[in-house]
Structure 1
């Protein structure tokens, strides 16, 4: 059944806002989206030259419209994509129909893949169908983009350390990439269920990604960079609610896909409680360093019973806005007793449009230091990082060769030999930094390392290339090293209003499930079909 909140949103929209509906929705952070295309256009120097692209979804404005993006995406001779729009109230109000999308995925042997939003870790076929509308009148903007997911959720090979028996066919209605906002100038405030992507990473993010389903949150953010004499500023602050899957036999990504019941039993103190999350991201582009963005993000999450009903909390800010509190534990009274899970990172992205290239670095911590001395003496404690680069080469008019690579390192540093930090995303809460049992950050998994390389030829909406991935699964937590190597092709093609994107890959698993000499092969296929009215 659709949740009560989903029903209320449908009813609210249908009765009140059908008559007052516009042009400029956001670009959702979907598994296969236009984020990569926007990044490419920026490297060409053709689009959003003053944006850091480190806070997504991207919100359109009157100057930066969806139609202008569609025209830039099309190569010479190609018909641009279109959006169905209805005008009324003397052109004050508009109604735009969102594309209908069917995203499908298939794993032949075991669950594999990340950054697939509401899809679950499962073997077999699964698919998400989404559609909707975007509306705007005056400062009020509404995006209704519900989704439905179906997954075969077949039985796969288990080991002592990995996996749990699937629960059978999985079906669910979701609010999807929906939001209600008040927009004024460069500022937006509202309620959203959209996926967020924070940081400069192209294939992974330490803090926020589309690896898990979107979660309900309040947001206060910039719509475009705020220009000042010293540079450009962008930000987002959220407060939201993270939920676990109601079925305690569903797998947990931070526990090697073992089920909640298998890890904690049927009467765990974690069961039935939701997690509150407060997070913020802030970026700055100095006037004297054109193309360079530096930023900082921080999040606190914890079981609502522990962090919102804790008697040690005295103020609204300390309960609901801890991200604006002190940075070091020595200045946070009873911090550990509140069972907060904190993540923090600093990042840099440098864009060089003349060279059609970029470089980025993201360095984060799974736990905050005790004081300044602790941080200076041991900055690698609980640290992880992402480093990546991309280069575009124009072979001839409108034909580009893309080369990109990214390394994500989440394995504990050697410091763990004298000071155990635990794996990323798991402090205090049994289900960790997750929503619907899936990690909100880097999807390769807690404590894992990944390396990605891709090269592709692009011309407008046409694309063909190769994608290589290597993943080391939680090497610190098991004596046996489990590694997976994925190799395959990626592509995209447009047929009038239908845009098809795909990935076909083979995955070689060595010491599958952390079992010595157990080697297996998996085939993964993904297909996105989007129709633009």
Structure 2
């Protein structure tokens, strides 16, 4: 079993497991949520690379060059090739293949795994690919194939038969978020972190299926992260931050196609959606390490007449619902629209002298009616994320870090006087903020809240990490506090896990064990799940 192998590796002393580490590639593996992306972020906070904005990802090959450390005074300098490429010619590299085993003993568990969904039982995933770069053109082909055993477990009742028996138990008709992907093994081949892009001195454009990450969060982005598969999209934006004297600006317009799972409440028209979005960052002159940003994400049914200019320019339409043109969707309510808008503003501030960064994000799940509505009730269909990362140097080759995030998107007290639903749910776009049955933003956002507190130890032969998380899955408590106490009204997960990355020759071996205790699962009795991960990435 995967948990047995993971436990065995965790118990082996690190010097014995990793006594023959050697240098491998790495620069073409800086994907959203990857091991190296997180590592480079910590190095940036201590001044090893330039203060490049972190809130518009994924990074191009040219951007990765700007994030690489300027010297070798860091723990993994002898492991990965992280020196800037000065050849300027054609470069073709294999992306090191990776095999991954994920085991859940009692119920599905896992987040921020991109296309991979880990149900109960054993899930197997294989990643591989190739990257090429010549001048301003870069190409990455990085597909993934996975098979989830998808063993049975007790589902929350939906009151439906057939495919909708596997749908979400709380908002069956208003979100495409299956509890289980049917009653057979779930197999999928996905293009993964693939893209083709052109990076000119000012402008970047391309097509991609890679995950994007908007905003500064690591675990709980409000709008967009790597919790779901990446979706097919085209983009146009700046290839690097542009100097506008007051500071530097960097941004991206995105247009794409969102798909639903086989367990979606939507059939026929509206089953395929067009998305459009905009994310931008401003780094003010004279305030070192500060980045301010905003983003908008729109869902709408795929236009029957084809995509027009109105669809492409939707991310720059007015912010207030009262100023929009009449839609004609619902008689008597001319401003009601089939579109679903999510928006957020965020900040990140890096303090290099102390090796720390603080960041936050405020998000909304729909338009405010006007400015007064926004100022009076900013927490209507809104919420926030706060985060902190801090590092300490034990020596030139040892790095200790602490990181934490807090997400609160729970229904507020305003529900006493004004209708308000769970975050990521929309009355007209009934797939919710999902792609192929998984949340596009934070996995904890639909339930309303999540948090993480973790510590990492980086050294030349790998990494050790320990993490505690709390995730609210469902909440039926009364924000008003009126009425009888519902002692089972909060369905919440607490987890405690340990993970280690070992460098063994030209292989990276990751092993992790996490105990997950689910209080009031589906508003019933408690449940326990043991999650284990074993991953091997081979050097080439």
TM-score (norm 1): 0.84
For 1:277, the equivalent position in structure 2 comes to 275
For 1:149, the equivalent position in structure 2 comes to 146
Note closer, same or farther for the CA distance 1:229–1:137 as it changes in structure 2 (3 Å cut): same
1:130 deviation in Å? 1.5
For 1:41, the equivalent position in structure 2 comes to 43
Note closer, same or farther for the CA distance 1:74–1:374 as it changes in structure 2 (3 Å cut): same
Name the SS for the 1:206 alignment partner.
Answer: coil
**Aligned partner (choices 163, 168, 192) of residue 208 of structure 2:** 192
Cα distance in 1 for partners of 2:518, 2:193 equals: 34
Whether the 8 Å contact between 1:70 and 1:81 is mirrored in structure 2 is no
Note closer, same or farther for the CA distance 1:426–1:461 as it changes in structure 2 (3 Å cut): farther
Note closer, same or farther for the CA distance 1:431–1:494 as it changes in structure 2 (3 Å cut): same
For 1:296, the equivalent position in structure 2 comes to 294
Note closer, same or farther for the CA distance 1:165–1:52 as it changes in structure 2 (3 Å cut): closer
Name the SS for the 2:147 alignment partner.
Answer: strand
1:283 deviation in Å? 0.4
Residues 1:130 and 2:127 are matched in the alignment: yes
For 1:51, the equivalent position in structure 2 comes to 52
1:460 deviation in Å? 3.8
Note closer, same or farther for the CA distance 1:420–1:338 as it changes in structure 2 (3 Å cut): closer
Note closer, same or farther for the CA distance 1:438–1:73 as it changes in structure 2 (3 Å cut): farther
Whether the 8 Å contact between 2:78 and 2:460 is mirrored in structure 1 is no
Residues 146-225 of structure 1: pairs in structure 2 closer than 5 A: 146-160=143-157, 162=169, 163=179, 166-225=182-241
Whether the 8 Å contact between 2:48 and 2:70 is mirrored in structure 1 is no
Residues 1:486 and 2:502 are matched in the alignment: no
Q: Deviations over 1:399-441 (max 9, x none)?
A: 2221111101111121122112211111122211111111100
For 2:446, the equivalent position in structure 1 comes to 446
Runs of 4+ in 1 over 3 A off after TM superposition: 22-26, 68-74, 161-166, 268-272, 335-338, 476-479
Note closer, same or farther for the CA distance 1:272–1:413 as it changes in structure 2 (3 Å cut): closer
For 1:529, the equivalent position in structure 2 comes to 536
1:91 deviation in Å? 7.2
Name the SS for the 1:474 alignment partner.
Answer: strand
Q: Deviations over 1:177-231 (max 9, x none)?
A: 1111112124320100000111111111001110001100001133332233211
Instruction: With a CA cutoff of 8 Å and minimum separation of 6, indicate the structure with the bigger relative contact order.
Output: 2
For 1:9, the equivalent position in structure 2 comes to none
Whether the 8 Å contact between 1:283 and 1:294 is mirrored in structure 2 is yes
1:445 deviation in Å? 4.4
Whether the 8 Å contact between 2:280 and 2:293 is mirrored in structure 1 is yes
Cα distance in 2 for partners of 1:95, 1:73 equals: 28
Cα distance in 2 for partners of 1:91, 1:35 equals: 23
For 1:231, the equivalent position in structure 2 comes to 247
Cα distance in 2 for partners of 1:272, 1:130 equals: 32
Cα distance in 1 for partners of 2:502, 2:190 equals: 28
Whether the 8 Å contact between 1:140 and 1:181 is mirrored in structure 2 is yes
Cα distance in 2 for partners of 1:197, 1:203 equals: 10
For 1:498, the equivalent position in structure 2 comes to 507
Whether the 8 Å contact between 1:103 and 1:527 is mirrored in structure 2 is yes
Note closer, same or farther for the CA distance 1:24–1:203 as it changes in structure 2 (3 Å cut): closer
Residues 235-274 of structure 1: pairs in structure 2 closer than 5 A: 235-245=251-261, 247-248=262-263, 260=264, 264=265, 268-269=266-267, 273-274=271-272
Name the SS for the 1:58 alignment partner.
Answer: coil
Q: Deviations over 1:46-72 (max 9, x none)?
A: 02x321211111223289279x55975
Q: Deviations over 1:367-422 (max 9, x none)?
A: 11011111111111111111011111122332222111110111112112211221
Cα distance in 2 for partners of 1:99, 1:23 equals: 8
Note closer, same or farther for the CA distance 1:189–1:26 as it changes in structure 2 (3 Å cut): farther
Q: Which segment is superposed worse, 352-361 or 482-491?
A: 482-491
Q: Deviations over 1:300-344 (max 9, x none)?
A: 11221xxx248xx9x933222211111111111135544001000
Q: Deviations over 1:429-465 (max 9, x none)?
A: 2211111111100112414211110012222452113
For 1:19, the equivalent position in structure 2 comes to none
For 1:469, the equivalent position in structure 2 comes to 469
For 1:380, the equivalent position in structure 2 comes to 379
Cα distance in 2 for partners of 1:301, 1:62 equals: 29
Whether the 8 Å contact between 2:88 and 2:134 is mirrored in structure 1 is no
For 1:458, the equivalent position in structure 2 comes to 458
Whether the 8 Å contact between 1:74 and 1:461 is mirrored in structure 2 is no
Note closer, same or farther for the CA distance 1:70–1:473 as it changes in structure 2 (3 Å cut): farther
Whether the 8 Å contact between 2:349 and 2:359 is mirrored in structure 1 is yes
Size of the alignment, in residue pairs? Answer: 478
For 2:361, the equivalent position in structure 1 comes to 362
Whether the 8 Å contact between 2:63 and 2:240 is mirrored in structure 1 is no
1:139 deviation in Å? 2.7
Cα distance in 2 for partners of 1:221, 1:202 equals: 23
Note closer, same or farther for the CA distance 1:398–1:192 as it changes in structure 2 (3 Å cut): same
Whether the 8 Å contact between 1:25 and 1:60 is mirrored in structure 2 is yes
For 2:30, the equivalent position in structure 1 comes to 27
For 2:389, the equivalent position in structure 1 comes to 390
